[in-house]
C-alpha cells in the first residue's frame, strides 16, 4: 500500500508587511510519499516494512527557517493469538536517523531519533 501527495500551498495575498503573497504556508511539504508492505510468514506470524518521505518545509509563513526533508524506514511484527486478537509491535525509524518531525514556529522545533509502540 502506498501514497503520494503534491501540494503547492502558498499565500495568494499579502497578510502583513512580513508575510507576503507567494510565501509558502507553514508546515506544508511540497512532496510526501509513503509505502507499506506486510508479509504473513504463516497464519500466526507476520512482518512489515514501511518507507516515509517528506519534502523540506518552512516552519512559519515568514519562510526563514526550513526543516530538511527526510526518509524514514519503519517496521512491524505481528502475532495472531486467535481469530479475534492480534498483538503488534511497531518501530518507527529503524535506522535511527535524525530528523525533524514538526515545529510550532521558527524556534520550537521537535527532533526525533526513534520511536516504538505496541
The residue to which cell 503488534 is assigned: 88
Q: What is the pLDDT of residues 36-95, one digit of tens each?
A: 999 999 999 999 999 999 999 999 888 889 999 999 999 999 999 999 999 999 999 999
Residue 101 is predicted with a pLDDT of: 86
What's residue 14's pLDDT?
Answer: 78
Task: Show the cell assigned to 5.
Answer: 501527495
45: which strand partners? Answer: 79
Does the reported pTM lie above 0.85?
Answer: no
Q: 26-54 burial, b if ≥16 CB within 10 A, otherwise e?
A: beebeebbbeeeeeeeeeeebebebebeb
φ, ψ of residue 30 to 5 degrees: the values are -75, -40
Amino acid at each position: 500500500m502506498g501514497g503520494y501527495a503534491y501540494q503547492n500551498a502558498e499565500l495568494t495575498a499579502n497578510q502583513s508587511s512580513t508575510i507576503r503573497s507567494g510565501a509558502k504556508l507553514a508546515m506544508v511539504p511540497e512532496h510526501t510519499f509513503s509505502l507499506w508492505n506486510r508479509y504473513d510468514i504463516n497464519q500466526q506470524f507476520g512482518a512489515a516494512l514501511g518507507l516515509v518521505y517528506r519534502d523540506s518545509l518552512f516552519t512559519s509563513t515568514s519562510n526563514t527557517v526550513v526543516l530538511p526533508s527526510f526518509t524514514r524506514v519503519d517496521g512491524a511484527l505481528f502475532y495472531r493469538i486467535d481469530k479475534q486478537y492480534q498483538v503488534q509491535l511497531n518501530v518507527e525509524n529503524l535506522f535511527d536517523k535524525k530528523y525533524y518531525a514538526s515545529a510550532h514556529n521558527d524556534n520550537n522545533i521537535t527532533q526525533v531519533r526513534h520511536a516504538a509502540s505496541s
